[in-house]
Structure 1
């Protein structure tokens, strides 16, 4: 097992057994990281921060009415997490990642999709318990699938990685016990944020990828699937930061959110059994920790558990590099009135 895989496994194991601690950088490293974060914040253009648009509602009604799923009930889809899940920085509901995923899921499944987004800008993993409680207490029942995007604020607010993973594991376990499929977009690579300079860039990349790998191990062991957001899915963000990042140079732009959403969509559909199997997909079967490390370094990579045999959980995981889905025509849910820019929102991802 590589040193990175051992680190990820150590964090995940500590989370499973109630461990905590300051993390793997040590006190000096964390102190440097925090000092550099403050310098980076001064260089991030805050732009005009607005409340993410409300995108809840039903998607794909017209498309689904013509398909074989027209008579079936809508797929219930819930988005959870931080401002990456909420769509911080975009101005129209149809531009949020949740709306893009709902539109794409409706197109693939040929069924309407009922979207509920409870993501909170600035949220850390310790907010997931509240969000899951909203999901499982819904009088209409639990959703068919949840997508969770979380972790960046855990890094920037120096939450111990074992604690972060422990909280995510608990959330996934509650959702899976309730009967909901779970797809987690793991911690993005904060080393790609444009105003972040060395040595913070190297530290941010290392810490965020360590957390992403540990998140992957925990989620897969709880029965969920992960998609690596890594450097937000490819060299586009580093090569074209002005196009892929929004005005604040921290949150993605409309194009950036679309890139991330379309990388998650195939796994979201596969979790519900509606994604056609792609025989050309690059697959591999690896120990869970090694698969997690490889995924953390390669955006858009899915990790899922191997089928169990005789009730015993397999120590192996399926690593799959699916091609990004085509971007569906953006939709606005029926009955939604899109308002103008909102009030200032909390800082953070």
Structure 2
């Protein structure tokens, strides 16, 4: 019966009257979502600097301060750690501290990510990197959800990401990319709009994965890895706005990114390289939304909020130091 109902709905959606009704409904829900989810005005915590393997407070970097590896973070609000209340909770710091602990080396962290960024902003972030100084040894990019809400095309968004990865790889950096998260866990977005944006996000994640690999980077399927736990424990893994992750949610994301970062740095780390723990599932193309693709075009205006990150296992990557 469910299959028949979906097939009938898909057939009806091709008629003008039903299409108009669907368009009006999704437009109303988009407006409702913008009212429910607040815009991001706060400045995320920043803790760029040098991290020692023994822990302790971050050392502010200035010319002449020694370090063994330079880690740089690019992307959107998820990369900045928007929603965290302390610098030791943001993904870049979690990765830098864990990398310092595993390697026994001093890790310099720099953040170029910007709240609200889409793939269109990656080129500017990389330009800023070259202006500021030499390129990093390793780069982490978290991007995608704002491309969905801004209605940036899937193909162009993936190609922009590929160009960013290639520029970083050509500069000598290893690159790890956290792909688009799963919008299906964000209950603040009502149905059926949530189903529409979820389908778009999963399609973008699949395109990003292929693009990153072709450019020489390592993709990490955050939608696959994190969404199940965000569905089970939203009160723990989301921040107070129920859109951005909490400190525990960011720890989940960092825990999935870290093995990929270690694998990309395998020659530098030697024996201290964990195995990659995931195998991405195939995006479900059998949904009603996938068959009625024109409905996704109705999400014509951004919700006006930065991208969310979506969940995994609530265990911090590294204990807070200091």
For residue 230 of structure 1, give the secondary structure of its aligned residue in structure 2.
helix
How far did residue 236 of structure 1 move? Answer: 1.9
2:74 aligned partner: 80
Structure with greater strand share of residues:
1
Q: RMSD across aligned C-alpha pairs, in angstroms?
A: 3.1
Indicate which of 26, 31, 36 corresponds to 1:43. 36
Residue pair 2:178, 2:220 contacting (<8 A) in 1 also: yes
Question: What corresponds to 1:144 in structure 2?
Answer: 137
Segments of 5+ residues of structure 1 without an aligned counterpart are 1-25, 65-71, 285-290, 297-322, 333-349
Matches for 1:326-341 after TM superposition, within 5 Å? 327-331=317-321
1:54 deviation in Å?
Answer: 1.4
Return the TM-score normalized by structure 1: 0.68
Alignment match, 1:52: 44
The count of residues paired between Structure 1 and Structure 2 equals 266
1:130 and 2:121 matched: no
Quick check: which has more Rg, 1 or 2? Answer: 2
Contact 1:243–1:253 (8 Å) recurs in 2: yes
| Secondary structure in structure 1 of the residue aligned to 2:222 | coil
8 Å CA contact retained: 1:136, 1:175? no
**Deviation digits for residues 213-266 of structure 1, max 9, x if unmatched?**
000100100000010110661422111212111111110011111111111111
Aligned to 1:105: 99
Cα offset for 1:40? 1.8
> Which among 170, 186, 189 is matched to residue 196 of structure 1?
189
Task: Quote the residue 1:253 is aligned against.
Answer: 246
> CA offsets, 1:117-156, max 9 Å, x none?
11100011100000111223332x2101000000111101
Q: CA deviation at 1:31?
A: 7.9
**Matched-pair contact (CA < 8 Å) for 1:192–1:231:** no
Alignment of 1:162-177 (within 5 A): 162-177=155-170
Q: Which structure shows the bigger proportion of residues in helix conformation?
A: 2
**Following the alignment from structure 1 to structure 2, what is the Cα–Cα distance between the partners of residues 104 and 219?**
24
